[in-house]
Amino acid sequence: MATEIKVPTLGESVTEATVARWLKKVGDTVQVDEALVELETDKVTLEVNAAAAGTLTEIVAGEGANVAVGALLGTISEGGAAAAPKPAAAAAPAPAPVAAPAPVAAPAAAGVMPAARKVAEDNGVDPTTLAGTGKDGRVTKGDVIQHLETPKAAPAPAPAPKAAAPSGPRSKADLEERVRMSRLRQRIAERLKEAQNTAAMLTTFNEVDMTNVIAMRNQLKDAFEKKHGVKLGFMSFFVKACLVALKELPAVNAEIDGTDLVYKNYYDIGVAVGTPQGLVVPVVRDADKLSFAGVEKTIGELGKKARDGKLSMEDLSGGTFTISNGGVYGSLMSTPILNTPQSGILGMHKTMDRAVVVNGKVEVRPMMYLALSYDHRIIDGREAVTFLVRVKECIENPERILLDV
């Protein structure tokens, strides 16, 4: 008995995938639920598992093939050996050639007047193709002359060939490596360009003194990890600070849908994560209902799933606001691009000791630049600046978050 391996449902709005890698080869024995093949969509990479035990006897869609939902990928046979290639069907005997019918001689052009026939022959015109105006519809000399004098329509110009993409000789082609873009990378490119093309995107900046939040973290991190089993990072502080600001400025948590503004009374915070395949943004659901430990655990779990390529469509869809921490890579300042259809994204950056003026004195403080990119169609400059000020106040005085003030 054979079991078909088919492309599973890939998630909302995703109808096609690319076969990234077969984990088994034809002839291999497989167990129930054993991973057989990896499919790459424009959002996630997922594994297709065996629905039955047996032997992989056929691979229909090879690596690199584009496949739709429900398409056949291969076949598992119950305990069978790999199917031998099917022999080519015996060629059917060629049918006996049928003699082509002898051409039938065209009847004499009885409907053409003799004078008309003479003029037509002299000018290479077939008189039988003309509409006659003479008696009984005969073609007259005048009909031929009128045909000759009628200007012929100019042939339609051939369409100009499309300009081909530059693919001429490259002077150092032997030193180059050409790699096909993955579906995820293609989707990232599309989404980033879409954000630039559709949103009136603007970025505003501020800086935050990290002194107090660093001191609080250093004081509580050991007890926090001992109690909750997870390390206390800075991301949970920023998530909580953003929640304070989002509740005060609901436009930053909203989106444009056609001619409507959709204000969301829930807070699903996307946290950008870099992976070997590209940037993904898993979502922390109902972040306002989570404790610091809950935020840290959820971010840790999503980060691990992202690095292992185990994120599901549910993990990536439906965020209302995004936080991106370029500081982990050493970025000092950037202008993050919106994760459409969201209207705002906060960019965190590297914490560096800098000389700042505090109470009239120059002191060295650990400072971080913050950037808020926002859609100016829905968020005004006053709201954007106020948002960053609220985040700054919460980070510089972290007790505000704990006391909800």
Residue 50's alpha-carbon distances to 76, 179, 294, in angstroms, are 8, 30, 35
Which one of 28, 308, 376, 404 is the catalytic residue? Answer: 376
| Distance separating alpha carbons of residues 37 and 81, to the nearest angstrom | 19
Element of type H or E holding 371: strand 361-375
| Phi (first) and psi of residue 297, to 5 degrees | -65, -45
Residue type, 165: A
Which 8-state DSSP code applies to residue 7? P
Residue type, 77: S
Q: Which among 300, 269, 297, 273 is positioned nearest to 284, based on CA atoms?
A: 269
Q: Catalytic residue at 147? A: no
How many H helices and E strands in the chain? 9, 19
User: Cα 163 vs. chain centroid, distance in angstroms?
Assistant: 26
Q: Catalytic residue at 126? A: no
Contacts of 200-203 spanning 24+ positions with Cβ under 8 A: 200/375, 200/376, 200/377, 201/337, 201/338, 201/373, 201/374, 201/375, 201/376, 202/373, 202/374, 202/376, 202/381, 202/384, 203/335, 203/336, 203/371, 203/372, 203/373, 203/374
Which one of 174, 228, 380, 404 is the catalytic residue? Answer: 380
Q: Contact, 72 vs 6, CB < 8 A?
A: yes
Residues involved in catalysis: 376, 380
